[in-house]
Amino acid sequence: MMLRLALPFAVLAMPVWAQDTASTDALFQAMQLPAIIAIMREEGLASGGELADQMFPGGAPSDWATAVSTIYDADRMTAEVQAALDVALDGQDIAPMLAFFTAEPGASIVTLEVAARRALLDDAVEQAAKEVAAVAMADATARFQLVSRFATANDLVETNVIAAMNSNIAYYMGLMQGGALGGAMTEDQVLTDVYGQEAEIRATTTEWVFSFLMLAYDPVSDADLEAYVAFSESPAGQVLNRGLFNAFDRTFQDISRALGLATAQYMITQEL
């Protein structure tokens, strides 16, 4: 279970400013986060089907799809991420963030990010994007190097790896809490198992992140992408990145834990 945030996020402290949640809510809409969350729900539904194939050899329970759909409730996810972002950005100066994403090139770039994320729901598009990114990486093209600067500025690979591992741990914890492991694994063993997957997770994450970025920013001029890099490196951009990571990571840990619990309940029912 890999959490694909593919949003810029990193960690840097910033002076405290006073602001109300109206500014954060405006930023939430300007970045089109409800649309991103809706796509994440679709990704989650597909992942739920793959999970069933792995965990239920005899076939998924008849109401498994309904259970997964309930866990990936878009309205609840949106409310939770928005509330967490309000908390994460409390006391910060939202003005430069709003200024970037409500003007150009920020507004257009966000639209391209949403379109690329939705396009990657198609397996054929995702495979083609992976191939394009792999060639660009191998040739170290000028565009790949610029995209790589963006990914580095936002620490995209590392934060997505952390998020994926956090989600995997949360899923195991849900299985344990639901009694599916029957005491066969301790929490320490879970951590050892998940950390043993780090290399594989990192490789898969790197492939997906650059596939997404190369696809999303293909129509963006070098100058506009340079402006996005500059914003990402600014204090405001770094604080926003941290807030986004914390908000999404917390929500998807909850989702993964709920999936683990649901899996455990169905496994135990099938055994009975």
Tens-place pLDDT, residues 214-255: 999 999 999 999 999 999 999 999 999 999 999 999 999 999
Asked if residue 85 belongs to a domain, the reply is yes
pLDDT of residue 20: 60
Tens digit of each residue's pLDDT (9 = 90 or more) over 171-214: 999 999 999 988 788 999 999 999 999 999 999 999 999 999 99
User: Is the pLDDT confidence value at 6 over 50?
Assistant: no
Token reading at 66:
């309904």
- Average of per-residue pLDDT across 127-149: 98
**Could you give the dihedral angle defined by the CA atoms of residues 213, 217, 218 and 219, in that order, rounded to the nearest 10 degrees?**
160
Please tell me the predicted confidence (pLDDT) of residue 4. Answer: 40
Residue 10 lies in a domain: no
CA–chain centroid gap for 77, Å, is: 12
What is the reported pTM?
0.91
**Within-domain flag for 205:** yes
The mean pLDDT of 8-20, rounded to a whole number, is 38
pLDDT at 85 over 90: yes
Distance CA(59)–CA(90), nearest Å, equals 46
Q: In this predicted structure, which of 85-99, 160-174, 181-195 has the lowest mean pLDDT?
A: 181-195
**For residue 89, what are its two tokens?**
């950005």
In a domain, 9, yes or no: no
Contact call for residues 129 and 212 (beta carbons, < 8 A): yes
In a domain, 30, yes or no: yes
Q: Which domain holds residue 93?
A: 21-271
Terminal CA-CA length for the chain: 27
Let me know: does 233 contact 150? Beta carbons within 8 Å.
no
Structure tokens at 157: 């690979």
Q: What is the pLDDT of residue 52?
A: 94
Residue range 36-44: mean pLDDT, rounded: 97
Neighbour tally for 70: CB within 10 Å:
12
Q: How many domains does the chain have?
A: 1
pLDDT band at residue 5 using 50, 70 and 90 as cut-offs? very low
Mean pLDDT computed over every residue of the chain: 91
Position 5 in a domain: no
Q: Decide if 251 is inside a domain.
A: yes
The predicted structure's pLDDT at residue 12: 33
Let me know if residue 4 belongs to a domain.
Answer: no
